[in-house]
Amino acid sequence: MEKMRADARRNRAKVLAAAEEAFAADGLAVPLDDIARLAGVGAGTVYRHFPSKEALFQAVVLERIEQFAEEARGLAAADDPGAVFLDYFVRVIKQASLNRAICDALAESGGHAFKAGAGDDFRAALAELLKRAQDAGAVRRDIDGDDLRALIVGCLAVERYSPGSGHLVRIVVDGLRASAGEGDVA
Amino acid sequence: MEKMRADARRNRAKVLAAAEEAFAADGLAVPLDDIARLAGVGAGTVYRHFPSKEALFQAVVLERIEQFAEEARGLAAADDPGAVFLDYFVRVIKQASLNRAICDALAESGGHAFKAGAGDDFRAALAELLKRAQDAGAVRRDIDGDDLRALIVGCLAVERYSPGSGHLVRIVVDGLRASAGEGDVA
DNA sequence: AACGATACGGAGCCAGCGTTCCGGTTGTCA
DNA sequence: TGACAACCGGAACGCTGGCTCCGTATCGTT
């Protein structure tokens, strides 16, 4: 990875940049040829640097997910765990909703992607934040980290369905708060 | 549609039944050939009865959506609008989550499907139920019928991501209740 | 029974997309 | 500067899946 030829390194960067843009706009659905064209290289070149489209996708997405995890870790020792947690929750959704790549990654991460503990940092950091918020009495206790991931995916679906305002996420946040009633609906 | 040959009518019914089953299991993604095989007919026969796969899909789904709308209309004059509404909300989600076809239909209905006011009955009935619940002071007032559709789509995504329990929908329901706080998160 | 209309089946067409292959090009190093 | 290895581009392959075409079978009627 270091002893690459100069043009190879250059092309690799171009492919990554193009993939980042294309995936962000249209998600995993974007044809690989489009990425190649956008990068100004041939399809073969893409495959020289990444074994598959999926691998390229993950390379692009992992970095971003890792940023989220990093941010979450930085927030772990905050004063007001409840506010910090909820704030973080909506920020993640807001960011991700602007990036189809992340939406797709999160949505399918239950299936098979990220299987090798790839995005586990994120999950762990999220769970930690949640736990602290719960211990502080700010968030209801009947959910865990996996539930949270599911909720994020759901919020992203909502956001995609009716973009903009984001006031619907607030409904979820309100539902997340502690002391939420014993709903007795069927 | 009435002066059809007997075998034609029979095959049409077989196709519809097969489509209902296949779409319910795998959503719009199921190949049309699979439906044909399941129905015990050739692909050509399917196309004799429905101009496109999309048309077949809508024929299958519309019926179901109409049932939802019908049910909602029957509930419009209930005693306790709040409970009735929330109850209906979770019932729709529970039903739809068992049927990929409906999930897909709802998720894409913002895009182009149902363009000709096809599922508008449902939307209208849903909005009516919501309005009554709001007037009864049981549901927060800062949402409308479209928001509700978005929330349903979101809940379906949640349900698909982590199936079963359905206790996550309760979070949304709790968030939907009136008097939910002024969330001051960013 | 026989005939015309209607319907059937499934092979085949076409388009999109992931992936591979290979002849030509370009960077690198002696 | 020459030569070798690494790299590039894009044509081509295989597969999937929607849709069509047409020879054949079936139905309904006379």
Query: What DSSP string runs through A110-125?
Result: TTTTTTTSTTHHHHHH
- Listed by range, residues with Cβ under 7 angstroms from strand D are A 4-5, 7-8, 10-12, 40-45, 47-49; B 5-7, 30-33, 43-44, 47, 52-54
Q: Which residues pair with B177 in a beta bridge?
A: B139
Residue B105 at interface with chain A, using a CB cutoff of 8 Å:
no
Write the DSSP assignment of A40-68 as a string of letters. Answer: TS-HHHHHHH-SSHHHHHHHHHHHHHHHH
Q: How far is Cα of residue B23 from the mean position of the Cα atoms in its chain?
A: 13
Residue A186 has pLDDT above 70, yes or no: no
> Which nucleotides in chain C lie less than 7 Å from some protein C-beta?
6-12, 16-22, 26-28
Taking residues B126-137, report their average pLDDT. Answer: 96
Residue of B90, B91, B158 with shortest CB distance to A150: B158
Give the pLDDT of residue A54.
Answer: 97
* CA dihedral of A127, A128, A132, A135, whole degrees rounded to 10: 60
Taking residues A21-30, report their average pLDDT. Answer: 98
Taking residues A157-174, report their average pLDDT. Answer: 91
Nearest one of B29, B17, B10 to B107, comparing CA atoms: B29
Nearest one of B121, B3, B142 to B67, comparing CA atoms: B121
pLDDT in tens, A78-126: 999 999 999 999 999 999 999 999 999 999 876 544 555 667 899 999 9
Cβ atoms of B138 and B87 within 8 Å: the answer is no
* Percent of chain B whose pLDDT exceeds 90: 81
Residue B76 at interface with chain A, using a CB cutoff of 8 Å:
no
Residue A103 at interface with chain B, using a CB cutoff of 8 Å:
no
Give the pLDDT of residue B180.
Answer: 55
Tokens 């736990």 correspond to A131
* Percent of chain A whose pLDDT exceeds 90: 81
User: Which residue in chain A has the smallest CA separation from B155?
Assistant: A154
Distance of alpha carbon A94 from alpha carbon B186, whole angstroms = 10
Give the pLDDT of residue A165.
Answer: 74
Distance of alpha carbon B143 from alpha carbon A102, whole angstroms = 27
- Is-above-0.85 flag for pTM? yes
Q: Which amino acid type is present at position B133?
A: A
Q: At what angle do helices A100-108 and A81-97 cross, to 10 degrees?
A: 110
Residue of A107, A156, A183 with shortest CB distance to B174: A183
pLDDT in tens, B57-106: 999 999 899 999 999 999 999 999 999 999 999 999 999 999 999 999 99
Q: Which residues pair with B116 in a beta bridge?
A: none
Residue A115 at interface with chain B, using a CB cutoff of 8 Å:
no
- A30: number of Cβ within 10 Å: 21
Residue B167 at interface with chain A, using a CB cutoff of 8 Å:
yes
Tokens 């009495």 correspond to A137
**Inter-chain CB proximity B146 and A140 less than 8 Å:** no
**Inter-chain CB proximity A147 and B161 less than 8 Å:** no
What token pair was written down for B177?
A: 């209740």
Give the pLDDT of residue A2.
Answer: 72
Confidence of residue B117 (pLDDT cuts 50, 70, 90): low
Q: Which residues pair with A177 in a beta bridge?
A: A139
